[in-house]
Amino acid sequence: MKKIAFVTGATSGIGEAIAKILAKDYSLIICGRRKEKLEKLAAELNSSTEVHTLSFDVSNATEVAESINSLPAEWQAISVLVNNAGNAHGRAPIHKGDLADWDAMIDSNLKGLLYVTRAISPGMVERKSGDIINIGSIAGKEVYPEGNVYCASKFGVDAATNGMRMDLNPYGIRVMGIHPGLVETEFSMVRFKGDESKSNDVYKGMTPLYALDIAEIVKFALERPAHVTMADITIFPTAQASSTIVNRQN
């Protein structure tokens, strides 16, 4: 078996693209809540590599621990962890925010990332090797209007990434944060609760990043020599200059 990569949120978008691009070089543990999509992706990747699927909700600490502890012995030596799972839910000023949306974002974007890392990192520490890549967001670098709690969750991801790098430094473990700007995936459809018009407006008049663009950065970061850590990477589409400045051609 090849080295093992563990990818959360692999059922769509960036996570799916990462799984596909890593299939040549790694055996894969792909994770997500939607079993049918996991199985479909696994069937597609089986011709390239060995694949193990885990279906759980990253925001549920018990599910995370039980799922990862259930891995067969031959799948336990995880070399690469890509914490990709997460979502935005709603967009509103702080005084009108939906508490359920707030909980969903903090639970998946930040706590879920921590739960999965807590379950997998001890093995890396024991082996004194490993790579952890956390998929953050420009929202973890710059706050924008009506992004309050989503931004807070992603600022938390950035802080947690930096803290992980310090804590795991003595064990030779590389910890990297990748922070994309506008990427066209299911992200906006989830944020705007299925409103296709609002979702399309996010990318109107410009060429966004695509999931493959982020997957290629992940692959590049993992392929750097052992003495090189791509610690903190921000990626924009060329039309974007900041979280709020986008050159749209109408």
Looking at the annotation, which residues are catalytic? Answer: 150
On whether the CB atoms of residues 88 and 105 are closer than 8 A, the answer is: yes
Provide the token pair at 114: 């921590």
Angle at the Cα of 178 from the Cα atoms of 199 and 236, rounded to 5 degrees: 55
55, 29 in Cβ contact below 8 A? Answer: no
Q: C-alpha 101: how far from its chain's center?
A: 19
Q: Do residues 128 and 122 lie in contact, with contact meaning Cβ atoms separated by under 8 Å?
A: no
CB 125 within 8 A of CB 177: no
Instruction: Kindly give, in sequence order, each residue whose CB lies less than 8 Å from that of residue 242, ignoring residues fewer than 6 positions away.
Output: 138, 142
